[in-house]
Structures are given as structure tokens and as C-alpha cells.
Amino acid sequence: MPELPDVVVYIESLEARILGHRLERIRLISTFLLRTAVPPIAQAEGKKVVGLRRLGKRIVIALEGELFLVLHLMVAGRLRWLTAGSKLPGRITLAVFEFDSGWLAFTEAGTKKRASLHLVQGEAALAALDPGGVDIGAIDEAEFAQRLTAENHTLKRALTDPHAFSGIGNAYSDEILHRARLSPIALTQKLKPDEVARLYKAILDVIAEWTGRLRAEAGENFPENVTAFRPDMAVHGRYGQPCPVCGAPVQRIVYAENETNYCAACQTGGTVLADRALSRLQKKSWPRSLEDL
């Protein structure tokens, strides 16, 4: 799923292409995409783009008349910028927004169809779509600590909770926790003050670093190959590969459709965390430490 750095770079690229331009037409190719009926989607046509903003992991295109198009890419949704009249990218195209400056294609790979589009009117209606998480860059360490420890959850769950913090998902939470040298299953209310401080700094550093990388990668072009799996990440998506800090093999915890990656040597004192599926299957033969592996 595109997370905060990806969404920021998407928005910056869109600002350069559609801000101040007119949305001439919206073509809904997959009807499931639109999740609102009032106001009707046709009401957005002919309106000028007056702003863009981020709402968690959503992209908001503000139009004249306090109309807001809210795009949620979810896991497999992506955006592509096309010259007017271009051939659309196959069966994966969900909608096309035709601006007087070019076309924006909203695509989604796969069959689960989770991506969504809302059209709402007024700031109150837009705020109703906001899960409420704060941008960590906008709060100080004390407020971060207060929010982090308000409930006793694992660090992985706390960082990816959109009601607590804005824009952090599975990929960057792995990178943040590795940078902070903290276990993904450590409990928030048991953290020491120095660990909270380390985590706060790691979040700011990782988000700034990756936003800069993605911005430089895109350059003047529209972002392509947006993915949560990048070869130069430290641990995310790198199960079995060596940790760039210590060389130990990256480990994983698999649950539902998600996977948490971590370095046991750097983050858990050498302990291999139980995997809900494999550890139950292997029982006593499940390795408890890197030495057992």
C-alpha cells in the first residue's frame, strides 16, 4: 500500500500537473470504485483544481465549490499520468480523470477491488473521512509519547493505527522499528523514555529520508513503479536476506495477509519471534534464537 512518502510525492507531482487546471470529464470504468452518490460525480466536471492535500494515506483533490475528490489507493491502487488521448493501461484502469492538461488514470492490479473514490462537499464532509491520526512531524516528542502510550499495544500495531498516527503502514513501520532497534511486539506502555525518544527520531528520519529518495527518483516525471518492496530497504520484504547493519538473516512474522520483517540480532536480542502459522505447525522444533536457526 502506498504510504506517507509515496502519497506525498504523488501529490507533489499532481500539483505540478493539475493545480489551477480544469477537470473536464470523469470516466468511471469500474462502477464499484465510487463509494458516494451525493453529490453526483458529474458535479465535479468542469471545476478547476484549487488545491491538493493528504488525508492519512488518501489523496484529496480540492475543486471549486468546496468539492473534494478523495482517492484511496489501498494495496494495489496506483496513479498514472497520460497525455490526452493515450491508450489506457489495460483492464486494470478503474477511472480516468480528464484534465485540460492531461489525463490521470486510476488503476488497480488484482481482483480484490479495494481502492475507492469519494466525492464530498464541504470541509465537514471531508473531515468525516479522516481516521484522525496525527502527522508525527507536526507534534513534539512529548505529545508523541502521550499518544503512543495511551493504550497498551504492540509497537507494530500502534504505528500502523490510522486513528493514532497518519500515513504509516506495514512497510515503513518495519523500517522505522529497525532504525530504532526495537521489537515489533514490544508493548507501548513498557517502553523506557530513551526508547520512546529513539522511536520518535527514527520515524522522523525514515519518513524524511524515503520521501527525499522517492522525490529524487521521480524527478520531473510522474512517479512510476510505486511499491512497498524496495531493494534498498533495510528489512521490509527482505526475509532471509542479510541485515545491512549486522548481517544476520532478516526474520518475519506472517499474519493474515501481512508480514512483519525484523532483524532478531538488532531488534529482539537474538530471539526469533513466533510466527502464528509456522510456529504452531513446528511446535517444539520452532527455533527460539538465531543460534537455533
165-176 pLDDT, tens digit each: 999 999 999 999
Domain ranges of the chain: 4-127, 136-285
Q: Give the whole-angstrom CA distance, residue 31 versus residue 90.
A: 16
183-195 tens-digit pLDDT: 999 999 999 999 9
Nearest alpha carbon to residue 166 among 196, 131, 140, 199: 131
User: For 94-109, how does the pLDDT look when each residue is reduced to its tens digit (9 = 90+)?
Assistant: 999 999 999 999 999 9
Q: What is the band of 112 on the pLDDT scale with cuts at 50, 70, 90?
A: confident
Same fold? 4-127, 136-285? no
What CA–CA distance (Å, rounded) separates 42 from 33? 15
- The more confident residue out of 288 and 120 is 120
Q: Is residue 172 within 8 Å of residue 155, measured between CB atoms?
A: no
CATH number of 4-127: 3.20.190.10
Read off the pLDDT of residues 114-157 as tens digits, 9 standing for 90 and up: 999 999 999 999 999 999 999 999 999 999 999 999 999 999 99
Q: Residue for cell digits 475528490?
A: 69
**What does the mean pLDDT of the chain come to?**
93
Residue 254 in grid coordinates:
506472517
Q: Which CATH architecture has domain 136-285?
A: Orthogonal Bundle (1.10)
Q: State residue 257's pLDDT score.
A: 73
The yes-or-no verdict on residue 278 having pLDDT over 90 is no
- Considering only CA atoms, give the Rg of the chain: 21
Residue 211 host element (H or E): helix 193-218
